[in-house]
Every structure is written in C-alpha cells, then in structure tokens.
Amino acid sequence: MKSVNLRGIISTVVTPFDDNDQVDYDLLRSDVRYLLDSGVHGICACGSTGEGQTLSAEESAEICRVVVDEVGGAVPVVGGIIRNSTAEVLTYARALKAAGVDALQITPVHYVFAPSDDQTVEYYRTIGAEIGLPIVVYNVVPWALVRTPVLRRLIEIPEVVAIKQSGGDMHLLADILAFYRDDITVLAALDDLHYPAFALGAHGALAAIPTVTPRLSVELWDAVQAGDHGRARELHEVILRVWRELDGPDLPERLKAALNLQGRKVGNPRRPFTPAAPDTVERIRTALDAAGLLT
C-alpha cells in the first residue's frame, strides 16, 4: 500500500457544472490551480463539497484524473466516495485508483438504515483489502456516525489511516483526539471550530471552508503550530463569520456563490439544485468583503 501524508489544510474542491449539467473540466483545473497557489497541503475531490453523491463512477474518475494531473504530485489528492453498498464503493474505488488518487475518503453506508458495528468494520476491511489504497473514514452522517469503540477496531485495518470527523459533534472529535491521536490521523471537518480542533491536537482539516478561505485557513493552521494563539483566534473569528453565511442545507449553492463572487468561475450546482438566491448572495458578498476575500 502506498503511503500518504495527510496533514495541515486539505481543501475540498467544488465540481463545476455547465448549463447542460455536465462537468466543466476547464473550470475545475482553474480552481485547483487557485487552491495550490494558496498554499493548501492537499486537495479532496468528489466529496460533499464536490457534490460527490451526484456523480457517476465515470465522472468521479475523470474529475480525479484531472485533479491529479493538475496537482502534478505537489500535494496529496484524496478521492471521495459517497455510496451505499460495498459493491458500489468497490466500483468507484477501482476507478479512482486507476485515476491516480493517493487516498480514498469513504462514508459509512448511510441510507436510512444504519449498518451494525460489525457490518461497518467488515465494509471498510473488504474495501481496504481489495483496493489497497489508504482510506479516510468520512464520519459525517449524523444517524450513522462511527463511534469511538468502532474506530478502535477500524484502526486495526491496515488501509484505514485517517478519520475525518464531521457530523457536527465536537465532543466526539475531542474523544477521538484524546484516545486515538497517536494511532490514526485525525482531520477536523467542523468548519466553524478548526481553531479549537487544532489546539486540541488535530493533525489537520479536510473540510469545506478552506475551499473559500484557503489562505486564511493555512495561516490559521500555521499560527496554531507556532503557538500564536492570539493571531489564531483573530483568524478563527474572521473565518467563522464567513462560514455562518455559507452553512446550510444548500451548501453547494452557497459555496459556488462565494467562489464566483471571488472571481473564481465554478459554474452551477448540479440539478435539481439551482444557484443561490440573490439575497443569499448579497449576505455572502458582505461576509467575504469584511474578511478581505473579494478581488
């Protein structure tokens, strides 16, 4: 199995769609270059920010191939998979491995019926053994969260190298860091709480907010690593105000509105979602302007 260094700010990247609801790969390349120029330490494609749940295996593979090509080995590339069976995940995983990703970000099975602990462990064990790539457990679905006792078992799977703790649960993140920080890479995805997550010892962040605030997020990470908590708190509050205007069930729409306002053309969200409403766009514009993020 190849090794991968997942540390610092791993930014998600949006998937641009054109007016015909097809992926615009030229816009994707452009935004990957923007993120790289901003100093991020890794890029994740086809996750929640990338509307991965809407993508076919073929689309996911081509998106990852383009990202890998554009990155050119400068930072790790993580390919996201959001599916609901071992068979589906294996199909996507084989395609993403062929596209050249360095690691896979995989949600637990989550559609209405949550699997048992044993089934979750076997799911990741089977995928790891058959694909042989490093796996990030994407702990995001509130009704299917991987609990700390199950994580103890997942750590024993050689391919499981990291957990991305999301799902809005800072308490679970604190427990994971306290009990397992030395055994597995812990990446924060609580977008409004990266500062306390870093202060508690998270190894980095893999989340949506650095997509909009990549330079600020990298500066926040650097400030905490340097012990400059005064500066880190200032950056946290700037980023927090931006996140408050992005957070919502229509997150892909809002993220794309924010990037378009920054002059980063990223097209539309995938249907049935539509571009953000004008009043939402204006609130996002105000927050970006206050943070100094408008060109």
Burial-class residue 90 by CB neighbours within 10 Å (0-12, 13-18, 19+). middle
Residues with catalytic roles: 138, 164
Nearest alpha carbon to residue 82 among 57, 106, 61, 62: 106
Outline where the chain has alpha helix (H): 25-37, 57-71, 86-99, 117-131, 148-154, 170-180, 194-199, 209-212, 214-225, 229-246, 251-261, 278-290
Count of alpha carbons within 13 Å of 281, Cβ hemisphere only? Answer: 12
Beta bridge partners of 204: 8, 187
Q: Distance between CA 81 and CA 64 in Å, rounded?
A: 11
Calculate the dihedral angle through the C-alpha atoms of 211, 217, 218, 220, rounding to the nearest 10 degrees: -170
Q: Distance between CA 50 and CA 167 in Å, rounded?
A: 17
Q: Which residues contact 228 (CB under 8 A, 6 or more apart)?
A: none
Q: What length does the chain have?
A: 295
| DSSP string of 190-245, one letter each residue | -TT-HHHHHHTT--EEEESHHHH-HHHHHHHHHHHHTT-HHHHHHHHHHHHHHHHH
Query: What single letter denotes the amino acid at residue 228?
Result: D
